[in-house]
Amino acid sequence: MLPSYCRATARLGLALALTCTALAPAAAGNGPAPKPATTVLLPTFNQTVAFGKATKADVKRTAELAVFEAKASLAAIYLVPAGKRTFTNTLLALDNLSARLGQAGGSINILANASPDSAIRNQAQRSIAELSRYGNQLELDEQLYKAVKDYAQTAEAKALKGPRKKFLTETIEDYERSGFALSSEKRQELQKINDRISELSLTFGNNIAAYKDFLLVSEADMKGLPEDYKKARPREGDKYKIGLDGPSYSTFMKYAASDEARRQLFIKYNNRAADKNLDVLQQVLLERQKKAKLLGYPSYAAYQISSRMAKTPQTVWDFEAKLVERVKQKTAQDVQELLAVKRTAHNDPAAATLNPWEVSYYNELLMKNKYQLDAEQVKEYFELNRVMAGLFQTTQHLFGLKFSEVKDASVWHADARMFEVQRDGKLVGRFYLDLHPRDNKYTHAACFGVVPGKATPQGYQIPTAVLLCNFNAPTAGKPALMSHSQVVTFFHEFGHVMHNLLTTAELSSQSGTSVKRDFVEAPSQILENWAWNYEALKGFAKHYQTGEVLPKALYDKMWAARNVGSGIAASAQIFYGTLDMTLHDKFDPTGRETTTDVVKRVQNQVMPYPYLDGTHMQAAFGHLTGYGAGYYGYMWSKVYAEDMFSVFEKNGVMDQKTGLRYRDIVLAQGGTQEELELVRQFLGREPNQEAFFKSLGL
């Protein structure tokens, strides 16, 4: 997953990505560009960001400096006479400007999401809002649009080829999607709408992060839960406090024998931030609808999807409908398997309904009883440091890399670690890992771009990415053990890291994950497959006490159980995608129907268990702001990911020759070519959906 700020700014019409170069844009006149000022968060060229030294004042100054420099760079672009425009003084200057703003935003965004200091965190959130507002101004800067259009008329522009031509074409298209067909008054109205959407989106995310609640349960309610889980829970008298962070919630839902306790925790979890975010979401949808109508689109979904691989909402609706049809039979089989477990567990042969708070619990019983797969036993083979070593070993081998940890790096929290990436003995990237949950930290798992690759006169800008995750922390006397699903998540997110760091794109606007939003998950989804492959697993999946390699018999059980519940899981993804599309394509935020009505209707249509009255999952569905009308992209991109993985299956999953081809054709290219063309090049044929459906067990 890419976090919302990263997605929201990924192509602000001006490629205002979370990317950077330490060079200021080239001056319009003669002579070199002035050397840019620095802060601890905007260091000199290819130096590391001093996160650990940053103060509230540094955060504020970094955002102010970035905007100040951008305005100076804009002035230089404006001053170029129409007949003197070149790629360097107009388009490259624009890419440099966007990149510099993006680097400031990328560094600040890490502190907004992970700093333990509330003063720094709050200032970072304010500064991100400031940078977003300025980005909205740039989208609607008529002089900048005119400069790009003037350049487009030159002989040099008309002779452009490859990535530079693509950048010019897409920049103009983005401008025109941003309202340059509108009058000046309408553009001002649009800017106000964009600012409002930015503010509301940040508020929506902050409300989720800040929301605090828990369930108090008795000793009896803890029956079935692992001992290390119980030991790690805070107590209030003789009661245990079960928080709503991912590991606490998912473990309780999987193992707690108490149906009522699970129901109560489910209700709390699915009401996170509902006290504030139902209204915020309604306002976001209203402003997005206003924006789409102002720009001449029938819906916000039509506006968003017009610049993506899918092109139209109807293509997405057809895609979702086809998925529903293909997974319907498997979903029904999954439900019958779980109902059989429920009937046995309760000695109730008439049980015919599955409730949402029961799915994880009965699924776990099914794994243990029918498939003899005990997730707690499996966890004993996935100690976090060994998993990390295995992930590193796999990616280093496939992509011809070497990782090394930087000791005493300047980081935002003691949990954060920094690594350098070398290729052929040359430093090509840096990444940070911050893996355990804590108060006021980003609550999911995501890759945050900070510094992307970019060609500069000083050499290639070394890209940097950060992984913020929430994997189980070590407990007294026991190391951090991961569920296999967490291992899969780790591989997934590291796929985004590799996409960011292995770029060779000339322009920051096309480097790393600066691809169409419905393709961006493919390079992360493909890497999940190595977390399922025994050849890869046996190198690191070892018992945390004995060092015994994951037994093939246990792995075979995991593999046999891999597609247990795959129909229900696929239905859940279809539900999320359909809910997102419905809210952005077929919902009137001024009408009588509420977002909760939509959730209820869509869930009852798509999911095999009924909506529970009194829950409001949409209030904490962060993708609604970050991926608005784009959640379908998870399944859309998975089709391409599985198809590309089929090449590895054919040649050998650890075949380095295939890994290097994938690195150079897909990861290195970023957005320099059309995504479908990159997939075709790698496959050597037209893509198809067969590998995707095979991966679901269909």
Q: Mean pLDDT over residues 672-679, rounded?
A: 96
Q: What is the pLDDT of residues 4-62, one digit of tens each?
A: 444 334 333 333 332 222 223 333 343 444 566 899 999 999 999 999 999 999 999 99
How far is residue 147 CA from its own chain's centroid?
34
Give the model's pLDDT for residue 6.
45
Q: Mean pLDDT over residues 484-507, rounded?
A: 97
Based on the residue annotation, tell me whether 493 is a catalytic residue of this protein: yes
* Rounded Cα distance, 633 and 639, in Å: 10
Which one is catalytic: 69, 493, 528, 642?
Answer: 493
Q: What is the pLDDT of residues 582-595, one digit of tens each?
A: 999 999 999 999 99
Q: How, if at all, do strands 459-461 and 464-468 pair?
A: unpaired
- Cβ burial of 307 (10 Å; 0-12, 13-18, 19+) is middle
Give the model's pLDDT for residue 37.
84
Angle, helices 56-79 vs 142-152, to 10°: value is 50
> Phi then psi for 227, rounded to 5 degrees?
-60, -40
User: Mean of the per-residue pLDDT values for the chain?
Assistant: 93
* Rounded Cα distance, 24 and 14, in Å: 16
Name the token pair of 314: 């109807």
Lowest mean pLDDT among 34-38, 208-212, 491-495: 34-38
Reported confidence tier of residue 140, pLDDT bands at 50, 70, 90: confident
* Collapsed DSSP state (helix, strand, coil) of residue 209: helix
Q: How many CB atoms lie within 10 A of CB 422?
A: 15
* Rounded Cα distance, 561 and 363, in Å: 10
Whether pLDDT at 648 is above 90: yes
Lowest mean pLDDT among 358-367, 368-377, 601-610: 368-377
- Residues of the chain above pLDDT 90, percent: 86
How big is the CA angle at 146 (ends 159 and 162), to the nearest 5 degrees? 25
Structural contact between residues 462 and 428, judged by C-beta atoms closer than 8 angstroms? yes
DSSP letter (8 states) at residue 542: B
Q: Mean pLDDT over residues 444-468, rounded?
A: 96
Answer with the residue of higher pLDDT: 13 or 579: 579
Structural contact between residues 606 and 578, judged by C-beta atoms closer than 8 angstroms? yes
Q: What is the pLDDT of residues 512-549, one digit of tens each?
A: 999 999 999 999 999 999 999 999 999 999 999 999 99
Residues forming beta bridges with residue 481, ordered by sequence position: 383
* Rounded Cα distance, 663 and 657, in Å: 10
User: pTM for the full model?
Assistant: 0.83
Give the model's pLDDT for residue 22.
25
User: Whose CA is closest to 676, among 512, 516, 496, 503?
Assistant: 516
* Rounded Cα distance, 442 and 447, in Å: 11
Give the model's pLDDT for residue 256.
98
Q: Which residue has the tokens 């239905």?
A: 571
Alpha-carbon distance values, 55 to 41, 52, 433, 449, 458 (Å): 10, 9, 21, 21, 29
Reported confidence tier of residue 480, pLDDT bands at 50, 70, 90: very high
Q: Mean pLDDT over residues 469-477, rounded?
A: 91
* Collapsed DSSP state (helix, strand, coil) of residue 58: helix
Residues forming beta bridges with residue 402, ordered by sequence position: 422
Reported confidence tier of residue 3, pLDDT bands at 50, 70, 90: low
Q: Mean pLDDT over residues 397-422, rounded?
A: 98
Give the model's pLDDT for residue 35.
62
Torsion of CA 147, 152, 156, 162, to 10 degrees: 120
* Rounded Cα distance, 16 and 106, in Å: 11
Whether pLDDT at 652 is above 70: yes
Give the model's pLDDT for residue 178.
85
Domains for the chain: give ranges and CATH numbers: 4-168 (1.20.1050.40), 212-269 (no CATH), 274-286+288-371+565-631 (1.10.1370.10), 384-563+634-695 (1.10.1370.40)
Q: Which residue has the tokens 């083979």?
A: 381
* Rounded Cα distance, 674 and 656, in Å: 25
* Collapsed DSSP state (helix, strand, coil) of residue 448: strand
Whether pLDDT at 210 is above 80: yes
- Cβ burial of 353 (10 Å; 0-12, 13-18, 19+) is exposed
Task: State the alpha helices, DSSP H only, in 373-422.
Answer: 375-379, 384-399
Whether pLDDT at 395 is above 70: yes
